[in-house]
A and B are shown apart, each in its own frame.
Chain A
């Protein structure tokens, strides 16, 4: 049966004394999905993972794994395995014994263990390392041992708690690709906790952005980035410009007034914001187009146009960040890709036409 549910959380609350770490969380994660819990530290993502693993018990609510209610079942009786942030490899055991541990506890017979350890080490490209101790391995290799140790048990769900956090940037990027490939290969549901938005965007099938114990937005990476539903999400994922505005009308099409009485069309206004109220327009820097006064630029009902002056230029290789002081006093940053190197760059103080499409402008509560 395709699309069965691997993990389901219903109204899960976790309170530590008076601090509510996870606040009425409901999630449904289908089989085989790469699902990420993304948020700043203290948002409740790790607590959520620990409740699924069985290291913490929910204060209220229910957790099902593979259709079975877990209740107060302890960690060692749950069909999930965890890759820990600092790997938590057993320092007194060899790589072989680390990887074999789960099967030994399940009383699998010795020859089967030997075969599956070899397979698992093969899967993470650590053949021939079985007699080493964790201390003798590099960070990346320890990471792979931790993966092999978890995957060898063929869990219904693999839980990963910031597993790449301790690696350097280059290795982290390599491991991102490798993890994703591995996940597709083994077809196991991955629940991945991270505070790194780029990591979540590149690997996940779906992402839950968490803040203050609640899911702020749940969706595919493109949704999360292109169509954030709150100021928090827009701000936490990627970079964004926020402009103060007053909502003029919400239907049939959205329109807001920026400072200085400039009216611009918008594609989406958060539910519950009524005309006449103050709000925040969010706009990604790469969605802004810059034109010289003599250029022709898109006009029409779906195009927003504001005049301004170039205040600062920061060259960052792939693109250049233009800080533009708008004529109404606000400041925006526009990222322009360095497509033609021979093109004449903007000059500081030069007058510029700032244009964007209504489709990219989204309006949230202040």
Chain B
């Protein structure tokens, strides 16, 4: 090959603005178009073609940027369509000009030549003069001559739009078949994509940003091919699977250009129908792995998944639609397998992107296979495995990965109306353990509220393990990274109240299960700090007592019920003592009393002993820990009330207790309290019941003793109004005992017990 000559590369118009260039070119187009039309009017076709060539030559410019070039292109092709119309008219009326296809090819410059050739070719097809397939094939091949990206893209766009309605769509036919049309568009697409990608690599590297911007402006030109393919009537799913998609993907992968790959994948997903995607999921997903490292694969996969999710939820809503989740394809498996290999292939993928993909898959799985929890579980497992494989064992709070992972965890919880399915997920905890405290805590609160709001009852041990051992762990026990002052957090109480509600909802499938759940809960609760116990333990104690009652009610069915009950009571004792040690004497006291009360209703051999123990614990707490006078009064009132209701004591145990009450009441600091206290105690001596009799005690002497003591105290009261009110209270008591038939009291009244009142 020989070489000669060296000239300077002239850049005409480099200094001119785009607008000025466009204006100049447009003027030339207008003039030539005018001349062309005049020649057409005068029936001078050859002259008209000459003017058309002159007009088209304006498109040969290299000075215009894509946007401006596009405007010029629109102007030119507008005029060209006039020529086309006239030619069609001539063909229609006078028959074809057989040489025309050859004639226009004498044009010296390739760009105007090909624009004309396309125009004429379309007229030939339209008038059925030649088989469409031959013309199409010829045109798309000849267009290879334009290798300049911008000019080539627009030329091929003209080709596509001009023959748009002329593509054969029949299965058979002399003019061509659907196969010819598919091949045609595919080839055009491939060539356009090559040109488009090539833009990236031409020119100075400093212009890269501008070039990428320009490329984005041009992407629609390439995408139009795919749109056309999707619109071909007879291009069915089989053809899509066998021909269209493989060809398109080949281009996408081989071009190794991030912009093109990202756009085209998105384009494929958006333009083709859902059932096509369903039939080719594997292919489409497999293609994601080899894409350029800069390609946002996450967005591609997610967009595909979301499209399918939307499709399924729509077809579900529309009951008439036959399309649904295909029975022959396991969508989850296809996705999961491909995602796995995708991760393997793309080691540089950010962890949050990986999780986001799993999140999308989760949505799909829940949409398509709501019954199949193994899938959900597997997604968790795969996610963890992947994160670990990239060296991520904990995700920092407020990172994108953390955000995505929380969403992933929440999704099944939010989705299922009942929590039962979600709790069967064995990998849930593994995911949780990835989080740092703050996130786990937030998730735990979320879950707790969800459980409480849905009135979900934890009913098996396994569930309990998941709920309390994993989900709510940050709210119940020590978790790494928990701040020391967690209990001073503004929402701490609120959270604990929710947890308490969850606890109170616990309802094992049977009594033994419930016992097991409670036993393991006990360990967990007592391991926590007192700040939490304060809220959780009462709930737990009440559950335990409830269970004991349950055992008692079903005593005929279970020989061992006594043993089980004592065990429960012993647990209750331990729990309440823990509270007491934690300087919550009042709370502990109340719980002991409650326990005693319940114990008394579950009569069995040891119930008296146990009830006594509870009561004595309450008394010792009272004596040792309750020092505030108001608290003392309140506590005593409770104790008196409790003792009055308890019926399991023998006299041996009962008398010391009620005597103690009276004694303690009389030792209140405030006189009025003492007065009212002993009045209340009086009731114990009268209406208290013993285990071995159905009768009330009716110990009139003691009653009177108490009342007298009350009067004595009232008398010593200095404040007249207080004294009056005390006397009124005492009078009430007297009256009440009188009504109940207490002789001693009756006598006293006669003796002028009301004297004080009179005073």
Do these two chains really belong together in a complex? no
Which of A's residues lie within 8 Å of B, judged by CB?
A: none
